[in-house]
Amino acid sequence: MVSATIYCEIAGSPHLRTELKMIQKVLSEAVPTIKRETIGPYTSPQSIYGNEARVSLLQSVLKTKSEVKQLRAETRELARKLDQQAEEIKQLQKTKTLLQPLQGTALAIRRRFFATFRRVEHLGGSGLVSTILGGNKVAHDGDVVTDICLFRNGLIDYRKNRNNWAWR
């Protein structure tokens, strides 16, 4: 397929008939200047026919087609990355759901750590002893909810830990 175009710029007119006559005149004057031209890259040149102003127009069309192709490729890549991120978000949400029952245990142990530090450094504060005792109870007395959560998620194995489990 060979492209052919005549490109002209004409000053607009508020009178449609006057404008149409100007367009017809300019186009008829441009027809004798039509010639064949080769544009595009050397690896895949294209032949076009048109007046002198056509080269820049058709080159911009080819450039636009190339940019659209590149944008489509970038869009596909971004869509792929977005799908990956959506999958990662699903995994994070699943992990959050799995670990939610452990939150109270983790907080109690962390509070115990800071309370013990404050007691050792003689920094004082209200509730240090109760915080430390509560954290010790959570950390050392066994917690069925925590153990079940760890077991269900494969973080502990009853065959390896059966002697350490405290079922109360």
Domain endpoint, select from 58, 78, 98: 78
Q: Are residues 121 and 93 in the same domain?
A: yes
Quote the pLDDT of residue 162.
54
Per-residue burial over 18-30, b = 16 or more CB atoms within 10 Å of its CB, e = otherwise:
eeeebeeeeeeeb
Q: Is residue 131 part of a domain?
A: yes
Q: What is the pLDDT of residue 168?
A: 37
| Whether the Cβ atoms of residue 113 and residue 134 lie closer than 8 Å to each other | no
Q: What is the pLDDT of residue 90?
A: 92
Q: Over the stretch 38-55, which tens digit does the pLDDT of each residue have? A: 777 778 777 777 776 665
Write down which residue in 38, 57, 78 finishes a domain: 78
pTM: 0.39
Decide if 167 is inside a domain: no
Given 78, 96, 131, which residue is the final one in a domain?
Answer: 78
pLDDT exceeds 70 at position 129: yes
- Domain contains 119: yes
